[in-house]
Every structure is written in structure tokens, then in C-alpha cells.
Amino acid sequence: MTARCLRLGLAVLAGLSLLLTGCSAGTATPTATAAPSRTASATAPRASSLPVVREAELPPEARTTLARIRAGGPFPYAKDGTVFSNFERILPPRKRGYYHEYTVRTPGERDRGARRIVTGGEGERYYTDDHYESFREVVADEAR
């Protein structure tokens, strides 16, 4: 009986150890499937290996949000500019406070909807239209 309890305890500890090291590895591979790339930029420097979308291919509301970001505001939603924590681990891992999120208005929605632009501390920009389930890196139109 003692040997059985000891084996069970060791198995639980081993499983917990694997779980904890797997969760804190920092090199996690995204589990969500990213939206397929509509375009690829062969020459532009890239911040990630995510699919890309040219700024001109974004919905008009996303381009408006990008223009507001460049201008420093004003932003229509109170949560615009708040820290995006990257809990989904789809974006490249960075320290807390590196990413900030902005709402992309969705016509017909009464609330903020699912669309966002997330910016990084070094100028990178990402677009999601499914509330963080997938991202595409936004590249400049001239980068193509």
C-alpha cells in the first residue's frame, strides 16, 4: 500500500512539474490557427512569423484606427491604448506593457465588437478580427 501511494505521489509530482515548465517556457507555440495570409511581403522587415496583411487591405475602420494611433488620438473607446497582455501567446513573447490594444469599430455592433489593432513597443502592428483568436501582422503598403 505504501509503495502504491508513493508511486501515485511521484506521478502527480511529475505531471505537475511538466505542466508548470510547459506553461512558463516562454517559447510556446500558438495553438490557435492564424487566419490565412492574403499577401506576403518578401522584402519588408518582419516582427513575427504570423501571416501578413497590407494596410490597404484592412477594412476602412481599421485604417481609421491606425490613423488615430499615428496621430496619438483621440480615441473613441475608453479601453483604447490599454495594455494588451498577450494571454493567448499568439504574438511574440514580450514583457508586460509592451503591447497596447485599440478597438476597430465594427458597423452594426452595439459594443466594441471583436476587431482590434495591437501595437508593439517597437512600432509593430497586428490586426485581429476574431477577438484575439488569430492575428495578422500589418505591413506598410510600400513594403510590398
Return the CATH number at 109: 3.10.450.30
4 located within any domain: no
Instruction: Say whether pLDDT at 144 is over 80.
Output: no
Question: Which residue has cell 497582455?
Answer: 85
Q: Which amino acid is at 18?
A: L
Largest Cα–Cα distance of the chain, in whole Å?
A: 71
Q: What is the pLDDT of residue 84?
A: 97
135 located within any domain: yes
Give bridge partners of residue 96 from the DSSP assignment.
none
Q: What is the pLDDT of residue 39?
A: 38
Q: What is the pLDDT of residue 11?
A: 55
70 located within any domain: yes
**What does the alpha-carbon distance between residue 46 and residue 64 come to, in Å, rounded to a whole number?**
23
DSSP state of 30: P
Instruction: Say whether pLDDT at 129 is over 70.
Output: yes
14 located within any domain: no
Quote the domain boundaries for residue 42. 30-143
What 3-state DSSP class applies to 129? Answer: coil
What tens digit of pLDDT does each residue of 1-47 get?
Answer: 555 555 555 555 455 444 444 433 333 333 333 333 333 333 456 77
DSSP state of 39: B
- Residue 131 is a catalytic residue: yes
All three cell numbers of 70: 499615428
**What does the alpha-carbon distance between residue 90 and residue 78 come to, in Å, rounded to a whole number?**
24
pLDDT range class, residue 49, cuts 50, 70, 90 = confident
96 located within any domain: yes
Q: What is the pLDDT of residue 2?
A: 58
All three cell numbers of 97: 506593457
139 located within any domain: yes
Indicate the pTM of the whole model.
Answer: 0.67
Give me the number of domains the chain comprises: 1
Question: What mean pLDDT is predicted for residues 58-79?
Answer: 96
- Residue 100 is a catalytic residue: no
The catalytically annotated residue of 55, 101, 109, 142 is 101
The catalytically annotated residue of 88, 131, 133, 137 is 131
What tens digit of pLDDT does each residue of 76-119 get?
Answer: 999 999 999 999 999 999 999 999 999 999 999 889 999 999 99
22 located within any domain: no
24 located within any domain: no
Question: Which residue has cell 452595439?
Answer: 110
Calculate the alpha carbon distances from 90 to 1, 15, 81, 140 in Å: 46, 25, 19, 21
Q: What is the pLDDT of residue 114?
A: 95
